[in-house]
Chains A and B, each alone.
Chain A
Amino acid sequence: MKSILLINGNDPKALLNSTLYGADAVAYDLHEAVSANDKDAARLLLQEALAFFDFGDSGVFVRVNPMSEGGDKDIAVAGKGKPQAFILPCADAQSLPQADAAVSALEAANGFAAGSIKLIPTVESVAAVENIGALLASCPRIMAVIFNAENFLKDLGVAETGDASQILYARSKVALACRAAGIPAIDRPWKDLKNRDGFEADARNGKALGFSGKLAVSGGQVPSINEIFA
C-alpha cells in the first residue's frame, strides 16, 4: 500500500470523486475535516456513501475521531457501511484496545465476520513512538501504521523547524518497528501543497527510511507518491 488519500468525509462531491485519483486507498475523514456540529451528519452520510459507491480496487478506510472524542460513535454509525479499516488518531495503549472493542461490537451487531475490519493506528505521541513495538503486538487488527510528525513534535514540546532531522529518530523507529512486525508503515502527510519539491523530497526521504507509503492530503499528491514508493 503506497498511497492513502485523505478525503473530507462530509463533502459529497469529494466522496464522489475520491477514487479518481488513483490512490491505493481512500480514507474518509471524520476527524479534522469535519466540524463538531457536523459530526452526526457526516457519520450518516458516510454510512450511506460506503454502501452506495463502487470503489473498484481501491481500499476504503474511515478516519475516526480519537476514542475520547466520539471515535466509538464513528465506528458504530459509519461502520455500518463496512469500511475495510478504521484509522485511529492518537493511538496509544489505552485507546487502541477501546477501538478494537468498538470494532468487535460493530462486527457482531451487523453480522460482519469477526476480525474482518482492520485498524490503522496513527502514532503521534512521544509515548506511542517510544512504545511502538508493544503497541503493534497488542492488537491483531492492525493492518498498517501512520506516523504523524506534526502532533509528535507538539507532544515533544518543540517547534517545527521544517528540518527533517527533527523527526529522524521517531520516523526511523516507527519504520523499523513496523518492518519488524511485518506491518506497512505510512509516512507523515505533507500539508504545504504549494511546496511540491519539498513534498517530493520528503516522500523520497520516507521511502529511504523504510516507509511503505505516504498519506496524501490532496489528489494531486497521489501520482508522485505512487511513483516514488513503487
Chain B
Amino acid sequence: MKNILGRDIPDYIEGYGQVRPFKGAYASIDPRTRTTITRRSVRPGNKLEPGEAKLLASIEEAVEKTGLRDGMTVSFHHHLRNGDYVTNMVMKVIAEKGIKDIHVAATGIFACHEPLVEYIKSGVITGMSVNYISPGPVAKAITKGLLPKPAVFRSHGGRPRAVEAGDLHVDVAFIAAPCCDNYGNINGTHGKSACGVLSYIYPDAQYADHVVAVTDNLVPYPACPIEITQDFVDYVVTVDSIGDPNGIVSGTTKVTSDPIGLKIAAAAAELIDETGYIKEGMSCQTGAGGTSLAVAAEIKKRMQAKGVVGSFGAGGITAYFVEMLNEGLFRALFDVQDFDLVSVASAGSNPKHMAMSGSLYGNPHNCGPVVNNLDIMILGATEIDTDFNVNVITGSDGTIMGASGGHNDTAAGSKISIVVTNLLKGRLCVLRDKVTTVTSPGETIDALVTDRGIAINPRRTDLLEKLKDSRLPIMDISKLKEIGDKLAGKPDSIEFTDKIVGVVEYRDGTVIDVVRQPK
C-alpha cells in the first residue's frame, strides 16, 4: 500500500507486525487508552524476607531477579550519550548468561555501543528500537540487515507514547543513575558521572515490568534531589563506573564561526522577526549544531534589541540556552537532555531549569505536550523534498545515520518550524524530488532557509502574506532546487533490495516510511 505521502509500505511487516499507515500529522489525536502494568510490592525494611532487599550485588543478580529471559525487551537511555557504559555492561551479562532474542529499546545509540554488533550477529539481540542513532557501527549493522527484525525508529515523543500505550512493552528497564540511594531514588545531575536530566527514561520507570538502577554513586538515603522516585525502582546495582561524563558532550555545541552558517542564521532570524515571532513571551528551541545555535544567537540579539523576555527555551539544552536563561532572556528552560557539562550543572542547581519527560516533551496522545506551546523551532535536515518532507534518518547512500529525535514532534507542535541548512552538503544538493526516507511530513515544515535562498511552504499563506515585501531571497522551493541541481547535478537514484531494515513510526505510532537495505 501507499500511505498518504505516497510511500510504498507493506500492510504487514515481518518482525514488526500490522502496519497502521500514516494519515496526516494531526489525524490521530483521538482519546487513547494507556496500558496497565503489574509491579512487585516491597515489604517494610524490618519485614523483609531474605533476598528481598533492593540493593543487589551485581548486574548478573539483577538479570536473575528480574527473570530476564529469551524474547524479552530491555530498555536503556542515552543521557550519557557517547560516554555510556551501562548498555554494554548489561548486554554483556545477558549474552554471557546465554539469553537470546532480546529486543533492545534504547532511547539512543552511539558509536560507544559498538559491542552490540557482536550480540546482533550472535542472536542475542534480534530487534531494536531507537529515537536517536548516531552514524557508527550499530547503524551500519542495521543498514546491512544484520538484525533479524527491522529496527523501529520513533521520535522522542513517539517512544513514550508507545510505552504508555503498550505498543512498546519493556520487560526490564536499566537506568544509568549518576546518583542513587539504596532504595532507588535517583537523580542525573549529581555524582562523578552526572549527565543531567534523565527525562527519556521516565516512561520506562513508570511502565516497565521491572526497573533496575545501575549506579556508580550510591549515596545515603534519601538521594537529593530526587528525579526518579523509589516507588518505581525494583533494584539497585552498584558498579565502578556507569560512564564517562565527557562523552556526553555533543560534537558541536558552540555557535558556528563559519561565515556561511552565520549568513543562514541571520536570514532565519530575519525571517522569524519579519513574521512576528520575536515578541514578549515567545518560546524557542534549536538543535545543538553550530548553525542552529547561531540562529539562537541572532534571535538573542533581536530579543535584546526589542527588550523581549521569552517564556521558555526547550529541548536538548546547551550552555548557550543556559546563558540566555541566566541573562533573563527566558523565564524557564524545559530540558530533556543536556548536551554539555554547563547544562548538567544548571539542571542540577537552577529551579528555572526544569526537567521534562519525553512524554511531556512530545507525546501527541496526552493532554498537551510542551511542543504544543513552542513558537519557534529550528531544525536540520539530511534531505528535504519539494513537498517539504524531511529526512534525517538516511544518508545519500541509503545508510542509516540518524533518527527523528524530537524532529517530527517539534515540527508538528511549533508555530513556525524552520529547516536551516546549506543547500549543498558535500557534493550534493539537499533538495530532492522525493526524500529517501520521510522523518517529518512536509505539512509540518514551514520554511527552508539555505545559503542560496529561502523557500516558504505554500500551505503557510499567512507567512507568505507577511513576507510579501521582504528583502529576503524568498523563492519557490522548485527554483531553489534548480539552483542546487545546476551546481551539484542530480545524483543517481539509490538502489535498494526489498528487505526492510527499519520501520519509521511517526509520533502517533503510524508508519510514515520504511528503510530498505541499500544494494
- Complex Cα gap A17–B487 (Å): 10
A97 at the interface (CB under 8 A from B): no
List of A residues within 8 angstroms of B263 by Cβ: 20-22
The CA of A17 and the CA of B258, in the complex, are separated in Å by 12
Complex-state Cα separation, A222 to B262, whole angstroms: 12
Q: Chain A, interface size: which category?
A: 10 to 19
Question: A219 CA to B263 CA in the complex, in Å?
Answer: 10
Q: Do residues B487 and A20 form an inter-chain contact, with CB atoms below 8 A?
A: no
Asked if A20 and B424 make an inter-chain contact with CB atoms under 8 angstroms apart, the answer reads no
Report which of B257, B262, B451, B486 forms a contact with A17, defined as CB distance below 8 A. Answer: B451
* A23 to B486 alpha-carbon distance, docked (Å): 22
The residue in chain B whose Cβ has the minimal distance to the Cβ of A22 is: B263
Which residues from chain A contact B259 at a C-beta distance below 8 Å?
Answer: 21, 218-220, 222-223
User: Does any Cβ of B come within 8 Å of A16's Cβ?
Assistant: yes
A173 to B26, CA, bound (A): 69
Interface membership of chain B positions 467-494, coded 1 if the CB is closer than 8 angstroms to chain A and 0 otherwise: 0000000000000000000110000000
Q: Which residues of B contact A17 (CB under 8 A)?
A: 260, 451
Q: For A216, give the chain B residue with the smallest CB separation.
A: B259
Q: Which residues on the A side are within 8 Å of B452 (C-beta)?
A: 20
Q: Shortest distance in angstroms between B298's beta carbon and chain A's nearest beta carbon? A: 13
Cβ contacts under 8 Å, B262 to chain A: 220
| Given the contacts A16-B487, A20-B451, A219 and B424 also touching, CB distance less than 8 Å | no
Bound-state Cα–Cα, A146 to B332, Å: 52
CB distance from B330 to the nearest CB of A (A): 28
- Closest residue of chain B to A221, judged by CB? B259
Tell me how far the C-beta of B209 lies from the nearest C-beta in chain A, rounded to whole angstroms: 53
How far, in Å, is B256 (CB) from chain A's closest CB?
A: 10
A9-56, CB < 8 A from B: 16-17, 20-22, 53-54
Determine how close the nearest CB of chain A comes to the CB of B429; give it in whole angstroms. 11
Indicate if the CB atoms of B260 and A16 lie closer than 8 Å.
no
Distance in angstroms between the alpha carbons of A39 and B452 in the assembled complex:
30
Interfacial residues of chain B within 483-507, with CB under 8 A of chain A in the complex: 486-487
Q: Mark A213-230, 1 if CB is under 8 A from B, else 0.
A: 000001110110000000
Please determine whether A220 and B257 come into contact, CB atoms closer than 8 angstroms: yes
Contact assessment for B424 and A21 in the assembled complex, using a CB-CB cutoff below 8 Å: no
CB-CB < 8 A to B486: which residues of A?
54
Across the interface, name the chain B residue whose C-beta is closest to A16. Answer: B487
Contact with B along A67-87 (1 / 0, CB 8 A): 000000000000000000000
> With A and B bound together, what is the CA distance between A53 and B424 in angstroms?
15
* B487 and A21 contacting across the interface, CB-CB below 8 Å: no
CB-nearest residue of chain A to B424: A16
Measured CA separation A54–B486 after assembly (Å): 10
A219–B258 CA distance with the chains assembled, in angstroms = 8
A190-230: which residues lie under 8 A (CB-CB) from chain B? Answer: 218-220, 222-223
Enumerate chain A residues within 8 angstroms of B257, measured Cβ to Cβ: 220
User: Could you tell me the distance in whole angstroms from the C-beta of B423 to the nearest C-beta in chain A?
Assistant: 9
A16 and B299 alpha carbons, distance in the complex (Å): 28
Instruction: Chain B residues near A218: list those with CB within 8 A.
Output: 259
Nearest chain A residue, comparing its CB with the CB of B450: A20
B249-266 contact mask (Cβ, 8 Å, vs A): 1 or 0: 000000001011011000
Cα separation A152 to B64 with both chains bound (whole Å): 80
List which B258-294 residues lie within 8 A (CB) of chain A: 259-260, 262-263
Distance between Cα atoms of A117 and B486 in the complex (Å): 27
Q: How far is the CA of A56 from the CA of B263 in the complex (A)?
A: 17
Cα distance A22–B452 in the bound complex, in angstroms: 11
Min CB distance A57 to B, Å, is 12
Contacts of A16 in B (CB 8 A): 424, 487
Assess whether B487 is in contact with A219, with CB atoms less than 8 Å apart. no
User: Closest CB-CB distance, A38 to chain B, in whole Å?
Assistant: 20
Report the minimal beta-carbon distance from B291 to chain A, rounded to whole angstroms. Answer: 13
Query: Which chain A residues lie closer than 8 Å to B260 at the CB level?
Result: 17, 20-21, 219
How close is B63's CB to chain A, nearest CB, in angstroms?
51
In Å, the complex CA distance between A191 and B310 comes to 39
When C-beta atoms are compared, the residue in chain A nearest to B264 turns out to be A20
* Complex CA distance for A215 and B257, rounded to whole angstroms: 20
Residues of B within 8 A of A21 (CB): 259-260, 263
- Taking the closest CB of chain A, its distance from the CB of B287, in whole angstroms, is 22
**Alpha-carbon gap, A53 to B486, bound state (A):** 9
Q: Which residues of B contact A54 (CB under 8 A)?
A: 486
B231 to chain A minimum Cβ distance, whole angstroms, is: 54
B430-464 near A? 1/0 per residue, CB < 8 Å: 00000000000000000000011000000000000
**CB proximity of B307 to chain A, nearest CB, Å:** 24
Min Cβ gap B217→A in Å is 40
- List of B residues within 8 angstroms of A222 by Cβ: 259
A16–B483 CA distance with the chains assembled, in angstroms? 12
Q: Which residues of A contact B451 (CB under 8 A)?
A: 17, 20
**Separation of A107 and B486 alpha carbons in the complex (Å):** 29
Q: Which B residues are in CB contact (< 8 Å) with A220?
A: 257, 259, 262
CB of A23, distance to nearest CB on chain B (Å): 10
**In the docked arrangement, what's the CA distance between A230 and B452, Å?**
24
- By beta carbon, the residue of chain A nearest B483 is A54
Q: How far is the CB of A32 from chain B (nearest CB, A)?
A: 20
Most chain A Cβ neighbours within 10 Å, of B259, B263, B424, B452: B259
Q: How far is the CA of A21 from the CA of B257 in the complex (A)?
A: 13
Q: Which of B257, B263, B451, B452 has the most CB of A within 10 A?
A: B263
B contact residues around A53 at 8 Å (CB)? 487
The CA of A20 and the CA of B261, in the complex, are separated in Å by 11
| Assembly CA distance A199 to B405 (angstroms) | 41
CB distance from A8 to the nearest CB of B (A): 15
Q: Given the complex of chains A and B, what is the CA–CA distance between A218 and B451 in angstroms? A: 16
Chain A residues within 8 Å of B487, by CB: 16, 53
Closest residue to B423 on the A side, CB-wise? A20
Cα A21 to Cα B451 with chains together (Å): 9
User: Considering residues A17, A22, A53, which has the most beta carbons from chain B within 10 angstroms of its beta carbon?
Assistant: A17
| Residues from 185 to 230 in B contacting A, C-beta threshold 8 Å | none
For the complex formed, measure the closest distance between the CB of A132 and the CB atoms of chain B, giving whole angstroms: 33
5 nearest A-B residue pairs (beta carbon): A219-B259, A220-B259, A20-B451, A20-B260, A21-B259
A-B contact pairs, 22 of them (CB 8 A): A16-B424, A16-B487, A17-B260, A17-B451, A20-B260, A20-B263, A20-B451, A20-B452, A21-B259, A21-B260, A21-B263, A22-B263, A53-B487, A54-B486, A218-B259, A219-B259, A219-B260, A220-B257, A220-B259, A220-B262, A222-B259, A223-B259
Sample of 12 further A-B pairs with CB below 8 A, known A220-B257, A223-B259: A16-B424, A17-B260, A17-B451, A20-B263, A20-B452, A21-B259, A21-B263, A22-B263, A53-B487, A218-B259, A219-B259, A220-B259
Chain B interface residues (CB < 8 Å from chain A):
257, 259-260, 262-263, 424, 451-452, 486-487
